[in-house]
Amino acid sequence: MIPPRALGDDRIEDESESEILLVCPISKGWGGRTARTAVRAAHPGTAVGWEDRIYEVLAAEPRSDGTMRYRLAPWEESQAIRSFERYDAEAERVRSAARQDLAAGIRKRRWSIVLAPFAGLLPGSVQKGMERDFGAPALAMTISSALPLFVVGFLGLFRNLLEVAGGQLGWPTWVAPPASIAMYLFVESALRLASAIAGGEPMGSLPFVLAYTAWKEARGESPEKSPGGAASSAAAATGASPDAKSSETSRH
């Protein structure tokens, strides 16, 4: 019988009629055979279609150098196949692409955490999309961006009230802005915090939502495909569905 060939950087460490030791640089996610216990029945390992035969993964053994060693044996016909994987060029290409996507998602999530105070200013729908696509913490992004602005708005209002009463504080403008800006930051940030903490919905900052919407439209990519106009923009800010707003309008 012609022995099977390993693919890519995988290599066959040892082989015989009854067993093959396949060493792989990265885990393929194959599971080994589980032994019978007092509370669990025995189950065969992953069935692997390799060239023109089917093998069972007897054991998946992580090694100290980070590689994985799989012990495979010809499949026993009496066993029922519970999990089947192919080991060929196409399957390896799919696994490689999945690993690259996973690594890219991890990198994006890390950056979303580092840049959370800025990413939280984006429309709520964008933040939820980031959470769905690569696990970005949407609510935490909203909170981390709204909380500092809430504090700045509060300090600005406090300074202006103190000045009305005849007091004086030597705080810089970026810490305690004028009354109009302070009021806006305080109110909007309070709404955003309430949306994230009480409502469980991420919410962007209106100036950034408008800038994002204008940027998307300038590129010919409408942020919301529905003809809701202003309702769609408001939905983008809060992460709410425009359909929900339309249905409520129709009830009135």
Instruction: Report pLDDT for 241.
Output: 46
Task: Give the Cα separation of 94 and 117 in Å (integer).
Answer: 36
CA distance 34 to 114: 41
- From first to last of its 252 residues, the chain has per-residue pLDDT tens of 577 899 989 999 988 878 999 999 999 999 999 887 777 778 899 999 999 999 999 999 999 999 999 999 999 988 889 899 999 999 999 998 988 898 899 999 999 999 999 999 999 999 999 999 989 999 999 999 999 999 999 999 998 888 887 777 677 777 889 999 999 999 999 999 999 999 999 999 999 999 999 999 998 886 654 333 443 444 444 454 444 444 444 444
**72 has which bridge partners?**
20, 57
Q: Which helix (H) or strand (E) holds 175?
A: none
Cβ-in-10-Å burial (0-12, 13-18, 19+) of 210 comes to middle
Per-residue pLDDT, 222: 66
The token duo for 13 is 């460490």
Which residue type, as a one-letter code, is found at position 45? G
Question: Residue 54 pairs with which residues in a beta bridge?
Answer: 49
- Where helices occur in the chain by DSSP H, the ranges are 89-114, 116-119, 124-134, 138-164, 179-197, 206-218, 230-238, 242-251
Q: pLDDT value at position 173?
A: 75
Question: Which residue(s) pair with 180 in the sheet?
Answer: none
